[in-house]
Structure formats: structure tokens, C-alpha cells
Chain A
């Protein structure tokens, strides 16, 4: 994008008109030439738009202001207003274009081509042409174009573009591989599992692009403000030009008209209208570089007002990978207990059930009959001729089985068969290495209330909360209880700020939807979480919550600065003009200057603090484990 040559040429003419000495008519003639050269297109558009029924656009206002200046004999100022208006317009377009480019680049993980193997032939196709089931070839250093599963080869993957995570991750045959990551070391063949449109990269890009479709409250305010601002300023300008000369003795029309022209020059709300949405766009772009996907500008605003963070325990603060610590049999052997539990839970997808199956890890000959899953309770299964209950103490008790007290740590899966208590499995889950620091960071950001919700027992909940700086722990909650608890916290009369809920997104959809802002953690590759949450954290690092909070606050602050600065300068110019203290030179330079500064300020929202880009936790085994 280039500024048309006639604008600097006009500027040269204008300068010449100011310094040249010659006949009295010469400076004026030069200035008018400069004016016509720089502004003929604006004048033309203004005329044409009026015939199309469009008055009060900025072409019209600038034309009115400058024609007015010429009528009262201020030729040089008319030319200056037009030239700087053109420069301002150019800069605004240029800056918006550049920043759009910068934001797009920051997010551009879109691969250009994919090499696939078809009928033994290696061929390069555009990623959109590859089909599910195709075999993809990847060399070291290449960006993965489509989601798939590794068929052969071992490698390390750089997932930074998706997660903001600097540490490479190991992958081998059978592992899922996501588009947007970079294959660092190995030569791989990959079976394509998702079409290009369904692949991670496309979905992320679409989400971030759509995020600016939801207007922030500030932008909505600016839109309303500017719809009123321009007509009001124009009417005031008219009054200012013609009323004082009529009522004030000795007032001169040309003097007051000149003051009114200042009004017209600052009557375009451009700087405001550009800079606020641009700030949010940049903030969303910046967050996405940190592996934080924000689904709408308004969520950044809401997050910035957060005072309470509520966490689901499992998978959010803990790793969510369970291991069976011990099997304590009240009757029979521990091995038999584990076998029964595995049979009962064999078809369940619950992380706890999967840990039981992993612990058993033997073929299961016996078929389980009818199985009923009780969310937040456990399972009831018919195994052989036996009626087996496997779940928490409450579930067993509600089915008339007495469960003895136990002091064991972790989550307990109690078993009973035909109404008789058999014993329990103690299952433990580790707190994420980052969790402690993450909560500390939230505290330092001024979050007063940190609440943990869990469906686990009191013991398991307290054990996990130990060492974490948690204000409230609520245990033994069924999924619907979590919604109720969140509603209760939101309804507190002394609540100051907004409530954020963070969960792993798998079982939390209703709570994510109910909270002011819902965070889905570790959502890379899970559709349900992306669907339900407002903000998605791609890896499962809890530190990112504090990063998201900081980015949100900073973005909102910058947007406010821009709006306040632009409105403030305009009102200052208006006030000075009323008293005849402003010149058209000042007015136009103030207007263009504000636009430039506001756009530059908006771009600050794109930059990240180092700490927010990747978390500075000491170690993170498991933080990246899928």
C-alpha cells in the first residue's frame, strides 16, 4: 500500500505557499492548488454520496470543513486539513492492514502442502485434497498438515504453535499427531484421521477468526457513541457558527465560523472506531500464541473482572491419570477384588475405570451382563449370577450395603456383591507439578477466592488440596451438584467480580456453560471441550489461567486507554475551539495523531510477556502427556 504521490506533492506546494515571497495572490493560489490536488477525491466522494442519500460521512465533513475555511479565506489551513486527513486515512489503512497481517502471521500454522502416498507414488497435494485414510509422509522439520495417527517412525514434536509449550514431546507409532505441530527429528508415515477442515489447525484458526465476530462491550459502546457523536458535533458546529454572531454584540461571523470548522475537523470518530476492536483482535491473537484460545472478545472483558476461580479437581489441578495403589479385601483376595472391579467397569470410559482396567491388564474371559453406570456414583453390573456394585461409599450405602470407615488416601472404589461388602481399591491421582505455582500466580493477580469442586470423597479432595492455596473445598459432588454449587457462589450477595470455572471439559459442559467464563483445560483435540468452553487452554498447564487473566486485563486496559485518550483529545479540541484557542492545524494534527498513537497502542496487546508465552514451572512430566 502506497500513499498517492499527489499527497506529498500537495504538502510541498503548501510549504512553498507559506515561505514564498511574491505577489499577494501567489501564496493563496499555491495553497488552493495544494488543496485541490490532495482533496479532489474527497470532494468528489462527498458530492456523490450526497446524491446517494449518504450525508454526514467523513468525506462530507472534511469537505464542509475545508470549503468553509476557503470561504473565510484560510487557504493554507484548508490545504493542511485535507493533506493531514489523507495522511491519517492512509496511516489508518496501512496500520490496520499491517496489524491484520501480523496477527494472521502469529496464528498462521496453515501448511501449504501435504505429501501423501497413493498407489505407491509419492505426491504433493494441497492439504484440502488429502482424504481420511491417506498415508502422509513427513520429513524432519516439516509442519504436520493434517491430524493423523503415526504408522511408523519415532520422533519428537514441537507443539509450541498449538500450546505455547517450548518443550518437545516424544511420539511413536500409534500416537496421535496433530496438525500445526512440527515434526522435529524423525521420518514418519502417518495415517490421516481427519480431513483438513476437521483438523486441529483449521478449527483453531476458524475459532480465533470468529472470536472478533462477537463484539466486546467496549466496542458496542463505541459503536453507539460514534453513531451519536458525529451528528451532535455537526449540529453544535452549526450553532456555534451562527448563533453567537446573532446574539453577542460585536461577534464576527467569520471568527465564529472558524471556531465551528474546528468542530467539523474532529467530528469523525475514526480513531475510536478503529482502535478498540483492533485492540481486542490483537489481544485474542496474542493469547492464541500462548496456546490460549479465546472464543469472543467479550470473554476477555468478563475474565478481566474475575474475582473467583472455581476448579474441578480431576484433570484440572491433578493430572487425571489414576493408578490403583492397593486393593484391600474385606473378604477373599485382593486379586479377586480387582478382577471383579475390572469386569464391572470394563465398558466404562471414566478415568478411574480405565485405571482399574490398566491395573488388571489380563484377558477377561467372563462376560459381564447388564451394566448400569451411575454418574458420580459408580457402576452396577451383573457378573455371572452375581449382582456387583462398584463405586463410592455413598452409592453402596444407598443400595443398602454398609461400608466400613477407612482412612486410606485417594479415591476409593468400594465393591460389593449381592449386598455383601467385599473391600475397596485405593486409587490415587497426582497433583500437577504446576498447580501450586498456578494458584499462587492467581493469588498474586488479586484473585481472592479459589474454590475446588470434586466428586471425590472428602479424603481425596483434602489430600489434593493440601499444599495448594485453596480457600474452599467442596467434595462428594455429583455433576448437577457442581452446577448448583457454582450458582450458589455466583448468587452470593457480597460477590464483587466474575466467577470463572475451569474444568477438563469432558464432564463439565453444564458448569462451563453456567459460569461467567468457562475454561477448558488440556482441550487439545477434544471437540466437546472446545464446544462448551469460552476459553480453551490447549495444553493442560494450569499456569495458563493466570496468563489468560493477565492478557485479558492488559487488553481491556489498552482498549480503555485508547477510548479514553481518543475521546479526551477530541473533547479538548472541542473545548479549545469554543474559546477560539484552537487552530485548524491543531485540530487536524490532534485527530491524526490520536489515530496513530491509538493504533500503535492497540498493537501492544499482541505482545506477550515471556512468562505467559510458556510457563516457567520447574518440571512438567505429565503436563504434556496426552
Chain B
């Protein structure tokens, strides 16, 4: 299952690349893409892993880039 989350705040492209590597390395993540140009993160994982993995990705993103975070809706 693949889900996309908008990213709020400024994202520098090299921070995005680094965040992407770290998020892709999270256990349970099949693939991850942090797109600084469209300000969107795409996450592929098993459906039951979703809220947790999105939150973990958000933590990584916040650490890698000041003032950036994911918009995690319903």
C-alpha cells in the first residue's frame, strides 16, 4: 500500500535526500520518496504499519529539516 503526505514548511533538497534515505531504512518501509519539489512524501508499506511509520517518518523529517513536518490526516 502506498500513501502520500504533503510536507509543510521549507525543505532543502539535500535534506530531503537524506531524510529519504533514513526513512527508507526504517524497518517495515518498502520504499520511500521525499520529494522536495512537490513537497510530498510517498511511503510504501504494509497497510497495518501506516500510522506508526508515518509518525516515525515525520520525526525523521523534523530532525533533518528545521520547520518541516508531514501533514498526516485521517
Question: A-side interface residues toward B, CB under 8 Å?
Answer: 45, 52, 54, 57-58, 89, 92-93, 96, 100, 209-210, 212-213, 215, 223, 226-227, 268-270, 273-274, 277-278, 281
Other-chain residue from B4, B21, B36, B42 in contact with A96 (beta carbon distance below 8 A): B36
> Do the beta carbons of B42 and A213 come within 8 Å of each other?
yes
Which residue in chain B gives the minimum CB-CB distance to A93? B10
Min CB–CB distance B15 → chain A (angstroms): 8
In the complex, the answer to whether A54 meets B37 with C-beta atoms within 8 Å is no
Residue contact B13 to A209, C-beta cutoff 8 Å: no
B35 touches A212 (CB 8 A): yes
In contact, B14 and A96 (Cβ under 8 angstroms): no
A-B interface pairs (CB < 8 A), number: 53
A58–B42 CB distance below 8 A? no
Determine whether the beta carbon of A96 is less than 8 Å from that of B37. Answer: yes
Q: Is there contact, CB below 8 Å, between B40 and A209?
A: yes
When distances are taken between beta carbons in the complex, the residues of chain B under 8 Å from A45 are 66
B17 at the interface (CB under 8 A from A): yes
Please measure, in the bound complex, the distance between the C-alpha atom of A58 and the C-alpha atom of B18, giving whole angstroms. 12
Asked whether B42 lies within 8 Å of A227 as measured between CB atoms, the reply is no
Q: Interface size of B by Cβ–Cβ distance < 8 Å?
A: 21
A270, B14: Cβ atoms closer than 8 Å: yes
Interface, chain B (partner A; CB < 8 A): 4, 10, 12-15, 17-18, 20-21, 33, 35-40, 42, 63-64, 66
The answer on a CB contact under 8 Å between A54 and B63 is: yes
Also in contact, A269 and B14, with CB within 8 A (given A45-B66, A100-B37, A215-B33):
yes
Cα distance A226–B10 when bound, in Å? 21
Please, which residues of chain B bring their CB within 8 A of the CB of A209? 38, 40
CB A489 to nearest CB in B, in angstroms, measures 32
Contact partner of B13 (CB less than 8 A), chosen from A52, A227, A270, is: A270
- In angstroms, Cα B35 to Cα A100, docked, is 12
Q: Is the CB of B14 within 8 A of A281?
A: no
* Residue numbers in A under 8 Å from B66 (CB-CB): 45
B37 nearest in chain A by CB position: A281
Asked if B37 and A52 make an inter-chain contact with CB atoms under 8 angstroms apart, the answer reads no
Sorted from nearest, which 10 A-B pairs have the closest CB atoms? A274-B13, A273-B14, A281-B37, A273-B13, A209-B38, A213-B33, A213-B42, A223-B17, A270-B14, A273-B17
Closest approach, in angstroms, between the C-beta of A550 and any C-beta of chain B? 23
Q: Are A226 and B17 in contact (CB under 8 A)?
A: yes
Closest A residue to B33 by beta carbon equals A213
Q: Are B12 and A93 in contact, CB atoms less than 8 angstroms apart?
A: yes
- Give the distance in Å from the alpha carbon of A92 to the alpha carbon of B40 in the complex: 19
C-alpha spacing A213/B33, complex, angstroms: 7
Which residues of the other chain, A, contact B64 by a CB distance below 8 angstroms?
54
Q: Is the CB of A212 within 8 A of B13?
A: no
New contact pairs (11) apart from A54-B64, A57-B15, CB-CB < 8 Å: A57-B18, A58-B14, A100-B38, A223-B21, A269-B14, A270-B13, A273-B13, A273-B17, A277-B13, A277-B36, A281-B38
Which of B13, B35, B64 has the most chain A CB within a 10 Å cutoff?
B13
Measured CB to CB, the nearest residue on chain A to B63 is: A52
Q: Which residue of chain A has the shortest Cβ distance to B64 in the bound complex?
A: A54
Chain A residue numbers with a CB within 8 Å of B37 are 96, 100, 212, 277-278, 281
- In Å, the complex CA distance between A52 and B36 comes to 22
Residues of A within 8 A of B21 (CB): 223, 227
Distance between Cα atoms of A270 and B16 in the complex (Å): 11
Give the CA-CA distance A223 to B24 in the complex, in Å: 13
* Cα of A281 to Cα of B37 in the assembled complex, Å: 8
CA A100 – CA B11 in complex, angstroms?
A: 13
**7 A-B Cβ contacts within 8 A?**
A212-B35, A212-B38, A213-B33, A268-B14, A270-B14, A273-B17, A274-B14
Most buried by B among A100, A215, A227, A277: A277
Residues of A within 8 A of B42 (CB): 213
Neighbouring B residues of A92 by C-beta, 8 Å: 12-13
What is the bound-complex CA distance between A269 and B64, given in angstroms? 16
Least distance between B66 CB and chain A CB atoms (Å)? 7
Write the nearest CB–CB distance from B56 to chain A, whole angstroms: 16
- A273 to B21 alpha-carbon distance, docked (Å): 14
How distant is the Cα of A210 from the Cα of B40 in the complex, in angstroms? Answer: 9
- Residues of A within 8 Å of B15, CB to CB, are 57
Kindly list chain A residues whose C-beta atoms are within 8 Å of the C-beta of B18: 57
Contacts of B10 in A (CB 8 A): 93
Q: How far is the CA of A522 from the CA of B18 in the complex (A)?
A: 40
CB of A226 within 8 A of CB of B63, answer: no
Known: A209-B40, A215-B33. A96 touches B63 (CB 8 A): no
Expressed in whole angstroms, the minimum distance between the Cβ of A203 and any Cβ of chain B is 15
Max chain B Cβ within 10 angstroms of own Cβ: one of A58, A213, A227, A278? A213
Q: Which of A212, A269, A278 has the largest count of B CB atoms less than 10 A from its CB?
A: A212
